[in-house]
Amino acid sequence: MSAGWNTIESDAGVFTYLLDNLGAKDVQFEELFSLDADFLRQRRPVYGVIFLFKYPVGEKPQDTPLDGVFDYDVAESRFFAAQTIQNACGTQALLSVLLNKDDGIDIGPKLQDFKDFTRAFPADLRGEALSNSELIREVHNSFARASPFADEAQRLATEEDDVYHFVAYTEMGGKLYELDGLQPAPISHGSCSSEEFPDKVIPILQRRIERYPAQEIRFNLMAMVRDLRIRAREIGDQDWLYQEEQKRTAWQWENALRRHNFVGFIGETLKAVVRSKLHQGDTKYEEWVEEATKTTSARRTERRKTQGGANEEEA
């Protein structure tokens, strides 16, 4: 791990426990696998959504957004922070929803102190304060994948690079806003109540996706909602509650695995297997390698037969 901000995955388990570790209560993320307003409505209250997409590196900044209008006034009255550092956009998008919903979410004392401290700041200073927050950076980095091959060098992305970016959408003060730290101000998408949010945000996301080539499918969408276990308890649905508890257990296991790299373990395992084969006789090692090579070749051939059409279309 570097002393800066590391990349984290767009994963509901990561973002849910990121919320928990920052001190927020009774809130979680749900991944959306389709642009379905009914799915969102079933999980009310929906506090906002976070959208991950491939960022157009070569696109020139514009005075007006491609969809909606800039609202410079709300940039001062609500929590909006300019993004001032790489790799922080996921956590920044999360906070863009969370810190504008503290009237309905218990965000915890530490985040409340941070919001109060930055309340009078302009967007650029809020971004600097966020980037330099030891609490937020440490929690963010605790969910980065461990890797012995991490590249500490920083460079500017080129048009050939695949660069991804998170933005948030939420309802504030009777309007639907897009909160993107790379933009000069929040983007208003018109009037919207919290009840209307699921129906109104889906067309906005559809229009955004339609700006990409038809073959581009690298998007991810997550909704910030109230802890679904609370709803399950309220209606007495024990099966649903069990499913949600199992999901939390799986998320905790996956997050624990992210904190470890297994290169050393794999290396020691391979060495142990090789030693075992060598002890079995002079030819056992060569026979084992030859058998593994044939098995791998057969799997590749079978994969080409079953997935060849799809691979050719993608290429």
User: What's the residue count for the chain?
Assistant: 315
Burial of 111 (0-12, 13-18, 19+ CB in 10 A): buried
User: Which of 89, 140, 189, 192 does the annotation list as catalytic?
Assistant: 89
Dist. CA 183–CA 81, nearest whole Å: 10
Q: Residues 6 or more apart from 115 whose CB is under 8 A from it?
A: 79, 99, 102, 107
Radius of gyration of the chain (CA): 23
Element (H, E) at 189: strand 187-191
Bond preceding residue 45 cis, omega within 30 of 0: yes
Which one-letter DSSP state was computed for residue 167? E
Dist. CA 169–CA 173, nearest whole Å: 13
Query: In this structure, what token pair is assigned to residue 58?
Result: 């070569």
Kind of pairing, strands 220-226 and 69-70?
A: unpaired
Phi, psi of 287 (to 5 degrees): -65, -40
Quick check: 96 and 80 in contact, CB under 8 A?
Answer: yes
User: Which of 140, 165, 189, 192 does the annotation list as catalytic?
Assistant: 165
Question: Where would I find the beta strands (DSSP E) of 93-186?
Answer: 164-172, 175-179
Does the annotation mark 165 as catalytic?
yes
Dist. CA 228–CA 244, nearest whole Å: 7
Distance of CA 250 to the CA centre of its chain: 17
Does the annotation mark 89 as catalytic?
yes
Q: Residues 6 or more apart from 200 whose CB is under 8 A from it?
A: 176, 189, 190, 192
Of 93, 109, 48, 100, the C-alpha closest to 77 is: 100
Q: Which residues are catalytic?
A: 89, 165
